Structure formats: structure tokens, C-alpha cells
Structure 1
Amino acid sequence: MKKKIGFFQSIDFKIVFVFIILLLVALELIGAYFVRQLETKLIDNFQEERRLQVGFLDNTLQPLLKDDKNLSLNEEITRLLTDFSGNGVIEAQVINPKHRIIGTSDSTNQSIVGENSNDRDVHQALLLNSKITSQYRDQTTNDRIWKLVSPIIASDGSNKVLGAISLKTNIETVYEQIEEITFIFLNASLISMGLTILLALFISRAITKPIAEMTNQTVQMSGGNYSGQVKIYSEDELGQLSLAINELSIKVEDAQESTEAERRRLNSVLTHMTDGVIATDRRGKIIIINEMALEMLNTSQEDAVGQSILKILKKENEFTLRNLLKNDQELTFDFSTPETPLILQGGFSLIQRETGFISGIVCVLHDITEQEKIERERRDFVSNVSHELRTPLTSMKSYLEALIDGAWQDPAIAPKFLQVTQEETDRMIRMISDLLNLSRMDASESTLALEYVNINRLFNHVLDRFDMMIQSADQFEKKYTIKREITNRQIWMEIDTDKMIQVFDNIMNNALKYSPEGGVINCSLKETHDNVIISITDEGMGIPKKDLPHIFDRFYRVDKARARSMGGTGLGLAISKEAIEKHNGKIWANSIEGEGTTFYILLPYVPYEEDDWE
């Protein structure tokens, strides 16, 4: 934002002020010198004129003063002095060598003629035979009086002092003339000062107007507006500067557009990156953080920017910036909560200039939660498969070794040993079949053989089969009751019949296995607006709350010993979940320990009219 400049802070005022100061100094120097020289010249001329008058009077008086027998000397001198008065002469006196006044030009003061002069200047002039000058102010008129006392010396070579002439003149007119000239000079100075101010303003405006336009253009450039151009008034230095600013504006606009395009590309890349990116300054303070990093670290832009990267990554107690950069391997950060697992892997690199100066750090965060989960599941899978295969193989090996050792000859033992071997073989075959099914689902090789099926009839068919199995003593030793609550409306759905039957079988088998003697299994099929919900509830031992989130994991067993003794592979629910999710449905369970468990299956349902089939 352009700051408003007051007049007294502007260049206009400064240029005018400098011009006035220079003019005042010049006028002061010139005026002082001129007035002084004028004053000296006028006073010198005035005094020289008076000296000439006194000299003329001296020449006139010498013949009279040499004639000692002239009885009318006083009258002649008085008449001569009377004619001499005027032209600024206040009084002229002639004094003889004995200090007696023998004539005066003052007609009102003729009584002093014949009296001795008490004038000290006269005495000094007669004594020293030299002219005496002095200047003083009249007590009455306050005018300046210039006084000249000149001895009258005989011009015949005898150097005899014949007397003295005392001349008093009014020099005030000279000073008045000097004051008038000084006043005229001051008026001329004031007029010249006014003209100088106008000229200075014109010159300053001629200079500051281009500067103001250049300033305005640079302010617009700083605000991002590069469209303006500075007007070029001349081809001098200011004109060249204006041209340079116009060229700079064009270049800065091009550079800004290029930088802005790069910034938008960078922001787009950072925004759409699946990895978190954090950039810091050389002190490790965060200056850039993208949305993915904010989401990973569960923080906001305001809270993150300015914070130490070690603090935001919760490593301030384990690492320093130097140690962090020396560590060549990527670091793992565990931000998991009881509700949400989150494991991040971070790599660090330096931001260096060509000189080698380190100006910051870049950290790239990868979310490896799923990788860690997959790796953990892989390890668990390998461990479980190894364990599940080793148990029947060990059992089979023991029985086969017994048979080889001669037990095959015992008709009471051999059939039992062979039956156990067959059961363990069937168990391994079932496990391998389940593993192959899961492998196909994971690899998306298993496709659904979809067909429109009446889900009511299909569910009833599965339950009828289990009713038959319950009634057969060969299948189950305990007795159960299956209760049904199935909607009367016939619901047709597009499903894979074999996979859906497998899901129902897995859940019903678990319900039958874990229900007590005489237990009731409640089966329900209901329709909502756009879903079909199937539930199967048993009255078994229930599932602990801590185990409930994991029952659909592969090989996971709540009671491992009991499940294994019942012949389970630990893959049934995992296969059921995969099958339901391929139908875009959901499967989950609710359980209360000691009371039983309910499995829910939700399948999307799009009703259709019979006309569609016609």
C-alpha cells in the first residue's frame, strides 16, 4: 500500500527549500558585499568632497591670514564662510594659531567670534599640524555629523601654521541614501525569491511527476498489477529510468506468470499427492505442509506452520535435526490410536543451494498402515497355515508309523487308525480348498455366477437341509431347534447361488457347533426399502468383546483348542466376508458372552415389477 507523503516531507518542498536557502545565502552574501561597498563608496565620496571644499577654503583664507594688519579680517572671513555654508554644511569655523575663533558660518552664533575654541580636535590639529576627522550623532536631531579639522599651513614653503578650519557636515543623507538602496535591494530580493519559488516548484514538479508515476507503477507491480506503463517525458536520466521500469514491469510480469504457473503446478502436485510432504526452513520450522500430511498428522495449517518438524512428528525427545539428517534410513512413525491404526514412514532430504548452504529440509511421509497390516497378516497367515497343516500331518505320521510297525495287522486298531488318517486328510483338503478360494478372491480371479434367485426359497432350502441334519443322529449328537422368521413377500435377487449357500452353511455350522443341548437358532429374513437383512442367532457361549472385531480375520479363533477339536479351519467367516463383499453387501456380528451371537448379512436389493419379466 502506498503511504501518503505530506508536503513538508515531499521532494517538491525539499527542492523549493534548497532553492530558497541557496538564494538567501547568495542574496545575503551579495547584499552584504554590495551594501558595504556602496556605503564605503558613498561615504568616501562625501568625505572627499568635503576635503576638496576645505582645501578650496584653505587656499582662499591663506592670503587673508598672512596679512596681519588687515583690520577687517574677521568680517571678510565671516562673509567668506557665510558664502561657503550650505550643501549639508552645518558650521564652518576658522581658528587662528592661538585657538581664537576668528570666523563662523553660523549667522545665529556670531557671538563666539573672538572667543577661544575649546574644541579638542582643533587643539590637536594645530598641535600636530595634521587633519583630524570624527563622526558623532547630534544630541538634538540624532543625525550623524561628520567633522573635519584641517590646519592652514602657509604654502610659501615656510610651513607656518596660519590657523585651522573646523567643518561640521550632516552625513545622515548619505546613510539615508544607503538605506533606500538597501530597501530597494530587499524588495528586489523578495521578488526574486518569489520568482525562484515558482521556478523551483516548476522544476521540482518536472522532476517529481515522473518519479511519482514511477513510484505508482512500482506500487502496482508490488500488488501484482503489471499492465500499467510509465509515461516518458524526456530522454534524460529520468526518461531512461522510466523506460527501464517499463521493461522491468514486462519482465517481472513474465517471470511472475511463470512462477505462478509453477506454483500452481506444485500446489496441484502437493494437493493430489497420496504422500504427505513437509518443508521446513534451515531451523527446522515448518513453512509448507500439504493436505495429505495435515490429514495424516491430524492437525491444521495454522497449528502446523511455524512448529518444529521434530515436534509435529513427536520425535523431539529422540532426535535432533543433525541426527535426523545423518540417519540414511527412513524412519517409522506410529500415530495409531485405539480407534484408528496409522503407521507412517518418513524420508528426509536437504534443500541446498549451489554454494552448499542448507536452507531447509523436505520430509515425505508414506502411509504404510495397510502395508504393515498386510505384512502382519502374511506372517500370521504363514504361521497359521504352517500350524494348521503341521497338526494333521503330525497326527497322520504318528498313525501311519504305528500301522507300519504292525498295527495294520490288528483288526480292532487298524480301521480306527485309517479312519483318523482319512479325517485328517479330508481336513487338509478342506483347508487347501478354502485357501484356494480365498486366493482367487484376493487375486480377483473368482467371478460371480449371477442369476436371479428367490432368496426366500434359497434361505428356506438351506434351513430345511440343516433340519434334516439335526434329525439325523449320525450328524449331530445334540438336539437343536431352528426357528424361522421370513417375510412373506417373494424377493428375487441377482446373486451367486453357490457362494451364498456357502455363506449360510458357514454361519449355520458355527451356530450348531457352539449352541448348547436343546438350543434354539433363530433365523430371520427381512426386507427394507433397498436392502435385504438376514440374521442368524444362536444361544451359545458368545464372543468376547475384544475378539469380536477379529472374527472375520483368516485363521482367527476365539477358543483355538475347542475350534480345532471341532474340525474348523478358521477360514469360514473370512470366506463368507469375501463372498458378501463381492455382492456389495456387508456382514457383521453382535454378541453377548454367555447369551449368544447374532450374525447379520445385508445385501443391496433393487425391487422389480413382474412386467419387467414379461
Structure 2
Amino acid sequence: MNKRIKIFQSIHFKIVIVFVFLLIVALEIIGAYFVGQLETQMVDNFQEQMRLRVGFLDNNLQPLLKKPDSKNFESDVRRLLTDFSAKNVIKAEVIDGKYYIVGTSDYQENMVGRKSTDFDVKQALLVGSEITRQYSDESTNERVWKLVVPIISDDNKVLGVINLESNIESVYDQINDITIIFFRASMIAAVVTVILALFISRAITKPISEMKKQAIQMAEGDYSGQVKIYGQDELGQLSLAVNNLSTKVEEAQESTEAERRRLDGVLAHMSDGVVATDRRGKVVIINETALDLLNLTQDYALGRSILEILKIEHHFTFRQLLETQEELILDFSTEENEVTLRGEFSLIQRETGFISGLVCVLHDITEQEKVERERRDFVSNVSHELRTPLTSMRSYLEALNDGAWKDPEIAPKFLAVTQEETDRMIRMISDLLNLSRMDAGKDVLSLEYVNINELFSHVLNRFDMMIQSNDKPEKPFVIKREFTKRDLWVEVDADKMIQVMDNIMNNAIKYSPAGGTITCRLVETHNSVVLSIADEGLGVPKKDIPHVFDRFFRVDKARARSMGGTGLGLAISKEVVQKHGGKIWLESAENVGSTFFIALPYVPYEEDEWE
């Protein structure tokens, strides 16, 4: 905001004041010196003139005072004094050596013949030297200069004195008149100086004002203006420099803005999060990816400590991050989402070595950590699942090798267990190979239109026969069917779908209680065919439902292993259903039962389309 400058604060006003002040000081010094010298010179001239006249009078009076008894003495003295009288002479007296006034110029005849009582006259007669004094007349209040000069004969005898009082006020009046003239001339000079100072200050401040306006425009981002150059002096060169600066700043600003836009574009489209701080650790830049990863808003993040937004303030200080620049694994997981980030730190450092901030690049390694964890779990599970039957087989084979093969009752049992464990390992390896082919994309589906009603019934019929063929079933089951009466034709790989249904039915039979009912449904929606298999078993805890389709996951590991499960059936089922473009999910409640749902894409058709 351009704040208005008061008149007495402006440089325009200050230049005028400085000029006037310098003029007044100069005139004061010159005036004081000039008037002082003038006063001294005029007073000296006046006094010198009076002395010359007194000296002339002295020369004429000496012969007369040598013969005071002459017949014409008084008339001659009066004549000389009358001739001596002038405009500035107030009084002129001649006193003889006996202190008697022998003549006066002020026509006070009654004073002639009397003794003088003037102290200065007496002192001049006594010491024989000139006495001068200046005083102010009480009646007229004018300055009077008094000169008492002894009349000395050729033989150095004091014959008398001349007492002269002259009005010196006229000299001071002349000095005052000259001072007034000088003062008036000074005032005229001051007025002329102010006018000239205004023009000069305007000539100086106008380019400065234009440069100020240009600077304000530059501060507001407008670089289009140019300062007018009025001359080739320093101000002209400064104006030219401001114009060049404006051009260069505009180019630099455009370059900086282009770089900033490019940087914003890079940061906005980066798959990694970027957080930059100042030298105090406060966040100054954060891109959208980082905000999404940290679940923050830009208004909240900017200005806060990087330690706070990364939630590491209790483990690290900002100085430690600057010094060590460690790579950190940051866990931002919640109950709903699992989020794991890797933070890599690097310094923002100038060429001088000054550290002006820190940059943190955040990589989302949630999937990597999950894959790594699954890999470790997979290796651990495979090792465990293979070790258990191999250990069992080794024990039985060692027993047979030690002679148990000779026992006709024990040997067949040991061989049967060995065969079962072998079959179990073959099934596991077969399932692993199937999953491996699916992961590699090498498992190609052989799609054909199949009547899903008949396919599902075929699977259930086999399980009915298995239950009925068992003479002593441990758990008698009832398989209940609730199918739509409409024939549903779906494009599937029949063998793969039979494998999925077998896996789910096996689980339903394994985990259902004795005498339980397994309800199998087949329904049609507007764009899907939904198969469901519900049991009345123990159910799955709510926390385990999201993991039932993970590889090697078991809710009850001991029971599942004793029943010969590999923990891969549901994982294979999920892969197969997803390859068909469908979905598979579980709904379960503990001590109530579980229901598996399979939804496959379905496009209804009219029978005449096939004809």
C-alpha cells in the first residue's frame, strides 16, 4: 500500500528548507561580519575626522594660549571655536592650564571664565594625554563621543585642553540604515532562493518520484512502466539503471514463474510425496501426493514442523534429521486403512554451505511391505506345511525300516499314513503350481456357455453320493437346494468353476456340526448370477473375515490341519472367480454359520437368439 507522505516529510520540502537554512546561515555570518566591520570602520572614520579637526584647532590655539594676556585673546578663541563648530559637534571648549574655561562653542558665554569641573579635563591636564569616552545623553538618549586633547607647547608644557563632545548617533543611524537595507536584500535573496530551490528540488525529486512509482509497480508485479530520463547526470543514470533493473527483474520473474509452474507441475504429477521445509523445519512446500499420503490439508500442513506432520517429534529432533538424514519407515496405518511410507531426507544447501532447509520424499511402500510380508508368510507357511507331513512320513518310514514292515498289522497302517501324507503334499504342490500359473498369467480359461443350474447340481450330486456311500458317516449332512427355475447360461470354464464349488463345499462339510444343513442357492439379478453356499458351523470371527481368502490363512489352524487342508483352496477360488470377471465374498457370524457368495457376469438372452 502506497502511504501518503506529509509535506514536511517529503524530500521536496527538505531540499527547500536546506537551501533556505544554508542561505540564512550564510547571510547571518556575512551580515554579522559586514555590519561589524562597517560599524568599526565608520566609527573609526568619524573619530579620525574629529581628531583631525581637533588637531587643526590645537595648532591654532597654541600661539594664543602662550599669550593669554593679549588684548584679543577671548575674541580670537571664540572665532576659532565658531569656525570649528559643525553639524555633529555638540560642544567644544577650551580650558587653560589653570582649569579655567577660556572659550566655548555652544554660546554659553556665562561659562567663560569659570573653572571646569569636568573630571576628564582635570585628568588630561594632569597626565597630559588624550582621553576618549563614549556615553549616552540622558536627555536625548543619543550616543555622544567625548574627546579631551591636551594642548602641548613645543617645550612639552601643557597649555590647556580641548574638550570636544560630538554626536556619534548619526553614524549608528547610518549603520542601522545599511543593516536594514542588507536585511531587505537578504529577504529578497531568501525569496529568490526559495523559488530557485523549488525548481531545483522539483528537478531532483521528479525523477525520484517517478522511480518510486516504478518501484511500487515492480513490487506489485507490473514491469511494463519506464522511468523518463531527463538528463545524462547521476539521476539520469539512476533512472536508466532502474529501467534496466525493471527489465531484468521482469525476465527473472518470468523465468522464476516458469520454473515455479514447472516445479508445481512436477510436484503435482509425482507419484511420491514431497515435503520441503525452511531452515527452522517449518513446512513451506508440500504436494498433493504427500497430503493424500499423510491425510492432511494444505492449510494445516504449511507452517507446521515436519516432525509434527510426520509424527516423529517424540523420536527425533530437526537437528538430528539434518545431521543424520536417515531413511525412515513411517507407519500411518489406521483401523480402516494400512499405510506404510518410506521417508528419504536430503539437505537444501547453498554453495556457501549454508543449510536453508530439508526435503523429504515419501514413497508409499504399503503394497511392497504387504507383498514382502506375504512372501515371508508364504515361505514360512510352505516350509511348515511341507515339514509336517515330511516329518510324519520320516517317522513312519524309520519305524518300518527298523522292522515294523514285518508286522502284518502295523505295516499296512504305517504305509497308509505315508500315502495320505504324500497325497497331501501332492495336493499342496498342485495348488501352489496353480496359483503360480495364475500369478504369472499363464493359466488360460477355456470358456464356454454352460447351464450353471446343471453344473451346480452336478457338483452337489457328487457330494450327495459321497455322503450316502459312507456306511458310517461321522456327520450326517443334509444338502438343501434353492435354485431358480429359469435356466441360466453363463460363459465359464467349467472345470475351474467345479474346482471352486468343490473347495467351498469341502469347507462347508468340514466345519459344519453333525446333522447340519448346507443350503445352496442359485439366483439371478439384472446382470449377475449369484451362487451361495451356507453352513451352520462355528462361523468366522469378524476380524478374520477380510483374510479368509489369503493364502495359507486358517481361522482354526489346528483343526484345519488335522482335516488335511492346505490353506490354499479359498485363495485359488478367489483367483478363478476374479479371472471370470466375478466376485466372491463371505458373510459369517460366530456360532451361527458362514455363507460364501459367488457372483458371475450374466447377460440374459432369448431362446430365439440361439435358434
Residue identity opposite 2:550 in structure 1: D
| Aligned equivalents of 2:7, 2:250: Cα separation in 1 | 33
Residues 66-105 of structure 1 mapped to structure 2, 5 A cutoff = 66-71=66-71, 73-75=73-75, 77-78=77-78, 80-82=80-82, 84-105=84-105
CA contact (8 A) 1:555 1:570 kept: yes
Alignment pair present for 1:231 and 2:231: no
**Residue 556 (structure 1) aligns with:** 553
Alignment pair present for 1:342 and 2:332: no
Residue identity opposite 2:43 in structure 1: I
Give per-residue Cα distances to partners, 1:359-383, cap 9 Å, x unaligned.
Answer: 5444433333322221222222223
| Aligned equivalents of 1:267, 1:475: Cα separation in 2 | 75
| Structure 1 residues 517 and 15: CA distance shift in structure 2, 3 A | same
**Number of residue equivalences:** 611
Alignment pair present for 1:579 and 2:571: no
Residue identity opposite 1:169 in structure 2: S
CA contact (8 A) 2:327 2:343 kept: yes
Residues 159-178 of structure 1 mapped to structure 2, 5 A cutoff = 159-178=156-175
**Residue 507 (structure 1) aligns with:** 504
Say which is worse superposed, 48-57 or 356-365, in terms of deviation. Answer: 356-365
- Please state how far the C-alpha of 1:514 moved relative to its aligned partner: 2.0
- Please state how far the C-alpha of 1:19 moved relative to its aligned partner: 2.1
Residue identity opposite 2:385 in structure 1: E
| Aligned equivalents of 2:221, 2:570: Cα separation in 1 | 63
| Aligned equivalents of 2:376, 2:485: Cα separation in 1 | 48
**Residue 137 (structure 1) aligns with:** 136
Residues 280-295 of structure 1 mapped to structure 2, 5 A cutoff = 280-281=277-278, 286-295=283-292
| Structure 1 residues 198 and 462: CA distance shift in structure 2, 3 A | farther
| Aligned equivalents of 1:610, 1:244: Cα separation in 2 | 89
| Aligned equivalents of 2:606, 2:149: Cα separation in 1 | 153
| Structure 1 residues 65 and 394: CA distance shift in structure 2, 3 A | closer
Give per-residue Cα distances to partners, 1:216-252, cap 9 Å, x unaligned.
Answer: 3334434443333332222222222332333333333
Residues 256-275 of structure 1 mapped to structure 2, 5 A cutoff = 256-275=253-272
Residue identity opposite 1:185 in structure 2: F
| Aligned equivalents of 2:609, 2:204: Cα separation in 1 | 89
CA contact (8 A) 1:122 1:166 kept: yes
**Residue 150 (structure 2) aligns with:** 151
CA contact (8 A) 1:330 1:348 kept: yes
Q: List runs of 5+ in structure 1 lacking aligned partners.
A: none
Residues 395-474 of structure 1 mapped to structure 2, 5 A cutoff = 423-450=420-447, 459=456, 462-463=459-460, 466-467=463-464, 470-473=467-470
**Residue 544 (structure 2) aligns with:** 547
Residue identity opposite 1:119 in structure 2: D
Secondary structure, in 3 states, of the residue corresponding to 2:22? helix
| Aligned equivalents of 2:67, 2:463: Cα separation in 1 | 186
- Please state how far the C-alpha of 1:39 moved relative to its aligned partner: 1.0
- Please state how far the C-alpha of 1:120 moved relative to its aligned partner: 1.4
| Aligned equivalents of 2:281, 2:404: Cα separation in 1 | 77
Say which is worse superposed, 368-377 or 206-215, in terms of deviation. Answer: 206-215
TM-score (norm 1): 0.85
| Structure 1 residues 327 and 38: CA distance shift in structure 2, 3 A | closer
Give per-residue Cα distances to partners, 1:65-119, cap 9 Å, x unaligned.
Answer: 4553445544554455445434122222222222222333324x43222222111
Q: List runs of 5+ in structure 2 lacking aligned partners.
A: none
Alignment pair present for 1:114 and 2:113: yes
| Aligned equivalents of 1:89, 1:61: Cα separation in 2 | 18
**Residue 49 (structure 1) aligns with:** 49
Secondary structure, in 3 states, of the residue corresponding to 1:377? helix
| Structure 1 residues 87 and 575: CA distance shift in structure 2, 3 A | same
Secondary structure, in 3 states, of the residue corresponding to 1:164? strand
Give per-residue Cα distances to partners, 1:446-497, cap 9 Å, x unaligned.
Answer: 3444556665665555555555555554796644334444556666655544
Say which is worse superposed, 470-479 or 226-235, in terms of deviation. Answer: 470-479
**Residue 330 (structure 2) aligns with:** 333
- Please state how far the C-alpha of 1:516 moved relative to its aligned partner: 2.3
| Aligned equivalents of 1:613, 1:18: Cα separation in 2 | 109
Secondary structure, in 3 states, of the residue corresponding to 1:546? helix
CA contact (8 A) 2:447 2:492 kept: yes
**Residue 125 (structure 1) aligns with:** 124
| Structure 1 residues 496 and 137: CA distance shift in structure 2, 3 A | farther
| Structure 1 residues 581 and 5: CA distance shift in structure 2, 3 A | farther
Secondary structure, in 3 states, of the residue corresponding to 1:347? strand
| Structure 1 residues 112 and 550: CA distance shift in structure 2, 3 A | same
CA contact (8 A) 2:147 2:164 kept: yes
CA contact (8 A) 1:94 1:165 kept: yes
CA contact (8 A) 2:325 2:346 kept: no
Question: What percentage of aligned pairs have identical amino acids?
Answer: 69
| Aligned equivalents of 1:22, 1:608: Cα separation in 2 | 109
| Aligned equivalents of 1:71, 1:35: Cα separation in 2 | 52
| Aligned equivalents of 2:576, 2:481: Cα separation in 1 | 23
CA contact (8 A) 1:453 1:493 kept: yes
**Residue 15 (structure 1) aligns with:** 15
Secondary structure, in 3 states, of the residue corresponding to 2:554? coil
**Residue 376 (structure 2) aligns with:** 379
CA contact (8 A) 1:469 1:476 kept: no
Give per-residue Cα distances to partners, 1:20-51, cap 9 Å, x unaligned.
Answer: 23222211111111101111122122222222
Secondary structure, in 3 states, of the residue corresponding to 2:113? coil
| Aligned equivalents of 1:452, 1:216: Cα separation in 2 | 82
Alignment pair present for 1:519 and 2:482: no
| Aligned equivalents of 2:500, 2:473: Cα separation in 1 | 20
| Aligned equivalents of 1:332, 1:48: Cα separation in 2 | 111
- Please state how far the C-alpha of 1:396 moved relative to its aligned partner: 5.3
Residues 362-377 of structure 1 mapped to structure 2, 5 A cutoff = 362-377=359-374
Secondary structure, in 3 states, of the residue corresponding to 2:125? helix
- Please state how far the C-alpha of 1:55 moved relative to its aligned partner: 3.3
Give per-residue Cα distances to partners, 1:420-457, cap 9 Å, x unaligned.
Answer: 55554544443333222221222233344455666566
Secondary structure, in 3 states, of the residue corresponding to 1:244? helix
| Structure 1 residues 165 and 328: CA distance shift in structure 2, 3 A | closer
| Aligned equivalents of 1:461, 1:205: Cα separation in 2 | 107
| Aligned equivalents of 1:325, 1:182: Cα separation in 2 | 80
Say which is worse superposed, 380-389 or 572-581, in terms of deviation. Answer: 380-389
| Aligned equivalents of 2:146, 2:268: Cα separation in 1 | 106
| Structure 1 residues 99 and 608: CA distance shift in structure 2, 3 A | farther
| Aligned equivalents of 2:574, 2:597: Cα separation in 1 | 11
- Please state how far the C-alpha of 1:140 moved relative to its aligned partner: 1.3
**Residue 199 (structure 2) aligns with:** 202
CA contact (8 A) 1:335 1:343 kept: yes
- Please state how far the C-alpha of 1:266 moved relative to its aligned partner: 3.0
| Aligned equivalents of 1:247, 1:415: Cα separation in 2 | 104
CA contact (8 A) 1:351 1:361 kept: yes
| Structure 1 residues 55 and 400: CA distance shift in structure 2, 3 A | closer
- Please state how far the C-alpha of 1:123 moved relative to its aligned partner: 1.8
Say which is worse superposed, 407-416 or 324-333, in terms of deviation. Answer: 407-416
Of the three residues 251, 254, 270, the one matched with 2:251 is 254
CA contact (8 A) 1:147 1:168 kept: yes
CA contact (8 A) 1:469 1:475 kept: no
